[in-house]
Amino acid sequence: MESMHIISTKQFLDKKILGSIFKLADDMEEKDRAGILINSLKGKILASLFYEPSTRTRFSFESAMHKLGGNVISTESAIHFSSVTKGESLQDTIKIISGYSDIIILRHFKEGSAEIASRFSSVPIINAGDGMGEHPTQALLDLYTIKKEFGNIDNIKIALLGDLLYGRTIHSLLHLLGAYNVDIFLISPEQLKLPEKYKNYLDKKGIDYKEIDNIKKIIKEIDVLYVTRIQKERFNSEDEYEKLKNSYKIYSEMLKEMKDNAIIMHPLPRVNEISTDIDDDKRAAYFRQAKNGLYIRMALLEMIFKKN
């Protein structure tokens, strides 16, 4: 990590750095499961500033900070309860909050907002999702999940299914996959295809990817099926969303086709795209994935504060 901020997964394209984050996350899990208290961040304050809803990202960051002995300050919903309602700019809000805290976890509806915030902050900014841009800590926990489930990342075949246009977790994950030797399949409704800039990135990295029109065509050969929600909040009209909302669904019949050791991932929340029927199948990895978020975020906080 060359910068104190975490804005994009492009900052993490080094297998050694990724390996050390994963190792630290393993240590965090071991200590947590053994009930060992880690007080390394005692006296530090994390501010969570979320302009969009969140369950996993916010709770796991806040829990991670508490588990490391630090404190948390936050607002229920920054869009309603901070001074933005009075017309304050993000830039002024960040200048103020960075004076009250040691790290800011920012989720914002606008692509590029985390990068802007980092220019005005005196403390590290962690991008917890910037509109249709990126969600780097989610992608780190996604990659960590693959590593944990398979023991390796190289040589896996991964299918990314869903809203590849607006899905920021996909964008961040693609950067990271660029550090490995993997095969990628992209499957989405025509209107929600991966933006050119990410395809160009894969081309530049020499990563093999194919756009496929139906998951059924490759379901037998993949190791990881990464499903995403159609990002309703990014659409201009309800109608547009209604047309696409049931474009794909994973259900138990389909699992019969999948490899026995394949896994199904999802950053969550899911709406209709994965049937709850498959939740008890050992290949359904999304709840394990969400739990890994806690350990990855503990590791990231620990690393950031050790450095500063």
Residues of this chain, 10-39, that bind ligand NCD according to CB under 6 A? none
Is residue 188 within the footprint of ligand NCD (CB under 6 A)? no
Catalytic-residue membership of 57: yes
Residue type for 138, please?
Q
The answer to whether residue 147 forms part of the interface with ligand NCD (CB under 6 A) is: no
- Under the criterion CB under 6 A, does residue 108 sit at the interface with ligand NCD? no
Q: Is 86 a catalytic residue?
A: yes
Q: Is 57 in the site for ligand NCD (CB under 6 A)?
A: yes
3-class SS letters over 202-229 = HHHHCCEEEEECCHHHCCCCCCEEEECC
d(CA 153, CA 137): 17
Cα distance between residue 73 and residue 61, in whole Å = 12
Is 307 an annotated catalytic residue?
Answer: no
| Residue 44 within binding range of ligand NCD, rule CB under 6 A | no
Q: Which residue from 135, 147, 175, 297 is in contact with ligand NCD, where contact means CB under 6 A?
A: 135
- Identify residue 249 by its one-letter amino acid code: K
What SS3 state is found at 250?
strand
Cβ proximity to ligand NCD: between 44 and 265 the closer is 265
Active-site residue, from 56, 67, 171, 297: 56
Distance CA 16, CA 18 (A): 5
Q: What tokens appear for 54 in the block?
A: 């969140």
55 among known catalytic residues: no
Q: Using the rule CB under 6 A, is 56 a contact of ligand NCD?
A: yes
Nearer to ligand NCD, 109 or 120 (CB): 109
70 binds ligand NCD (CB under 6 A): no
DSSP SS3 for 159: strand
The residues carrying an active-site annotation are 56-57, 86, 107, 135
